[in-house]
Amino acid sequence: MTDTLKNITPVFDKMLNRSDKEKLLSQRSICIWFTGLSGSGKSTLAIEFEKELHNRGFLAKLIDGDNVRTGINKNLGFSEEDRNENIRRIAEINKLFIENGTITINSFVSPTNNLRELVKEIVGPSDYYLVYVNASLNVCEQRDVKGLYAKARKGEISDFTGISAPFDEPKNIFLEINTSESDIKTCVNILLSKFLPIIELQKENEKL
């Protein structure tokens, strides 16, 4: 052991813990993980869901793939190794937010079941809720807001999920929402009906 390591003294036992933060916020902190193809509606749904939780007095943090790629993970590319590291870092960030009592809403393609299991392992199975935002490849291509599918079809983007790279059908999901069959408002209401009973904590003065 180096002299530097000898001087490290963790103080976790002296810090406020997760339950203290959750009681303050009157909510249970969890990780809600949206997976789905590009164009399936993950980001749009996550944005509206966060707004609805905020309007109901919940503290939530939206973590979006594009935002992360321009910030903490801007040094990563799209190789398999970099994609794995991208998701690993996000999972660790989720863990920090959860320990602070915050509900996280994540919008990531996370195309393989191995990646989704990695998040579950890091965050913890009791705090991890996988939501499959489902829309057919045809619908996603029709939307193609960013023009990525068109570029992938032309060979301008390699290893693009759904075209030249695989997307594993999610396993062990908590909820599946099909955005090609329901509008955003309906989808958000489905999310609220499923998650409000999980995240609501009764305030102490309401127990009396």
| pLDDT exceeds cutoff 60 at 61 | yes
Q: What is the pLDDT at residue 208?
A: 39
Question: Residues of the chain with pLDDT > 70: what percent?
Answer: 86
- Sketch the domain layout of the chain as residue ranges: 26-103+112-197
- Tens digits of per-residue pLDDT, 122-175? 999 999 999 999 988 777 767 777 777 767 676 767 777 767 677 889 999 999
- Please give the pLDDT value at position 16: 85
The angle at the Cα of 160, spanning 49 to 75, to the nearest 5 degrees, equals 75
Q: For the range 82-89, what are the long-range contacts, defined as Cβ-Cβ under 8 Å and sequence gap of 24 or more?
A: 83/115, 84/115, 84/118, 87/115, 87/118, 87/119, 88/118, 88/122
pLDDT at residue 164 in the model: 62
pLDDT class of 15 with cuts at 50, 70, 90? confident
| Predicted local distance difference test score (pLDDT) of residue 207 | 45
pLDDT for 4 equals 61
Q: What pLDDT was estimated at residue 145?
A: 72
pLDDT at 205 over 70: no
On the question of pLDDT at 204 being above 50, the answer is no
Was domain 26-103+112-197 assigned CATH 3.30.1450.10?
A: no
pLDDT at 137: 75
User: Looking at 44-58, 113-127, 136-150, which range is the least confident one?
Assistant: 136-150
Q: How far is CA 69 from CA 55, 64, 152, in A?
A: 28, 9, 19
Q: What is the pLDDT of residue 11?
A: 58
This prediction has a pTM of 0.85
Higher pLDDT, 68 or 151: 68
Answer whether residue 14 shows pLDDT above 80.
no
Pairing of strands 128-134, 103-107: unpaired
The residue type found at 207 is K
Supply the residues annotated as catalytic.
110
Query: What's the alpha-carbon Rg for the chain, to the nearest Å?
Result: 19
